[in-house]
Structure 1
């Protein structure tokens, strides 16, 4: 019996030691800085917008956290924060100052010049402030009459509006606000369908492969830009997305088009709403398939909210 107790005690102690070693090694790795979950090492061909799309982050936040300028240029092997850096405050971001090519203008006009208007021969001459001599007038003279002989225009008496009669009921109608178009219909005027096909996969924020919608069609069908913007990524850098295009529309919205067969645009190219950006590629079990996403401040949103009905 004692033997069994000693055996169990040694076994428990062994497990405790193993767990302690694992925790110690984990602490060393986290403190050593060789690998961090909150940093990303830039790979060739990656852009800030691609990285933001990959980690579901707002591109503007990544630009601020890493003190990047408006061009958002990054380089291979560069380490970027993909979450809020330690000790970072909103006042920490100071973008590089813009180049100021405006030269200061020197005004040779004397500070002793008379700045008050001067009347000469009943005419008003404005003071010279551009360096011209005092004998030259840079403004057209303005006629000034000291005593006018013309009959003044008759004064029109202003009639006071009558006060409302206390006993008389006055109908006051509160202006009703015009029924403005709903946010959905307003947004649908801005966005357009990337392809007129059947939606076979609906949006789901909880499913990794359903953070957009799936649209079927025929291989080689044209894929259109859903909104005007600039292509910020074009390539096949994300597994299970095939040839991917990401378009930046403004500081708020990005759109993504996956499983393209032939990409017809390049990074940095401006595109218009409805412009052909690629052709549809196959994805089993469909002959033609497009995965379409819209990101708002880095977060996937349901494209059906923005697309026309």
Structure 2
């Protein structure tokens, strides 16, 4: 079974219940399910689901994996297609038929099909937490801690800041998502960094950088806003390694 460690720093994402909390579920992959079928069942774009879960090759899903689906509230049935393996059929040559003489007691045994190639997969462990690897994206007080429950476990932290305050990148990286298509996050930006790390910036009043943009550490990327369900201005901030959320406090100054 392939294990993909931490998406969206929280690509990648856990949605929370409640008026200001994103929410989502983990879908258990069964034999024959594909990323396309899973994304279609939940109404999520396949490319976004792959980025969110740190999946480089969508064709290599393994039974038993957990795929995070943002915005979902329950596990939905996903059709599985398991096709029987059949040996390859060699095309016949359009030449004169070959006549083979076989005695009555001769038994012809079919050749055994070659063994299927095995794929060796490696599991990349998250680096040990290092204080100061990332900087605070806004200057403000933490009003919701990592792991705090409000219907669902909080996969990040929430920092108060004035409406319109500058939000900066916590580290240098590439913008892999800039939009408002993830339920519960409002205007959202996701950055991909070195060592399979991702950072997530939600509740923005305005995104200032488009997808595909490379930003430096501390560069202005958004303006602080209110949670989609209402409440005081704040930033929802997550750090993920692959698809697993980590506590931002362990990596901030």
TM-score between both structures, scaled by the size of structure 2: 0.55
Aligned residues: 164
Change (3 A) 1:297 1:220: same
Q: Does 1:191 align with 2:153?
A: no
Per-residue deviation, 1:41: 3.2
Q: CA deviation at 1:190?
A: 2.4
Aligned partner of residue 246 in structure 1, secondary structure: strand
For the 8 Å contact 1:227–1:249, the answer to whether it is kept is yes
Gaps of 5+ in 1: 1-29, 68-81, 94-182
Question: Matched residues in 2 for 1:272 and 1:196: separation?
Answer: 18
CA gap of 1:31–1:223, structure 2 versus 1, over 3 A, is closer
Contact 1:47–1:233 (8 Å) recurs in 2: no
Match of 2:59 in 1: 66
5+ residue gaps, structure 2, are 1-29, 61-77, 84-115, 122-127
How many angstroms apart in 2 are the aligned matches of 1:31 and 1:239?
29
- Find the aligned partners of 1:306 and 1:228 in 2 and give their Cα distance: 14
Going from structure 1 to structure 2, the CA distance change for 1:42 and 1:36 (only over 3 Å counts) comes to: closer
Evaluate the alpha carbon distance shift between residue 210 and residue 90 of structure 1 in structure 2; reply closer, same or farther with a 3 A threshold.
farther
Partner of 1:6: none
CA drift at 1:39: 2.0
Matched-pair contact (CA < 8 Å) for 1:222–1:278: yes
* Matched residue, 2:49: 51
- For the Cα contact (< 8 Å) 2:31–2:82, is it kept in 1? no
For the residues of structure 2 that align with 1:46 and 1:208, how far apart are their CA atoms?
23
Distance 2:174 2:225 in 1: 22
1:229 aligned onto 2:227:
no
Distance 1:39 1:92, change over 3 A: farther
Q: Is residue 304 from structure 1 mapped to residue 232 from structure 2 by the alignment? A: no
User: What is the CA distance between 1:64 and its match in structure 2?
Assistant: 2.2
Which residue is equivalent to 2:231? 285
Distance in 2 between residues matched to 1:292 and 1:248, nearest whole Å: 14
| Structure 1 residues 205 and 282, CA gap change in structure 2 (3 angstroms) | closer
> Quick one: structure 1 residues 233 and 89, their matched pair in 2 at CA, closer, same or farther if it must change by over 3 Å?
farther
Q: CA RMSD in A?
A: 3.9
What secondary structure is seen at the aligned counterpart in 2 of 1:51?
helix
The 1:32/1:188 distance shift into structure 2, 3 A limit, reads closer
The 5 A counterparts of 1:17-166 are 39-41=38-40, 46=45, 48=47, 50-52=48-50, 57=53, 59=54, 62-66=55-59, 91=119
Larger helix percent = 1
- For residues 36 and 251 of structure 1, the distance between their equivalents in structure 2, rounded to whole angstroms, comes to 24
Pair 1:210–1:52, CA change in 2 (3 A): farther
Alpha-carbon distance, 1:250 to partner: 2.5
Q: Are residues 1:210 and 2:210 paired?
A: no
CA-CA distance at 1:229 after TM superposition: 0.3
3-state DSSP class of the match of 1:40?
helix
Q: State TM-score, norm by structure 1.
A: 0.45
- CA drift of 1:65 comes to 3.5
Other structure's SS at 2:252 match:
coil
Q: Alpha carbons of 1:46 and 1:263: their partners in 2 closer, same or farther (altered >3 Å)?
A: farther
Deviation at 1:51, TM superposition (A): 1.7
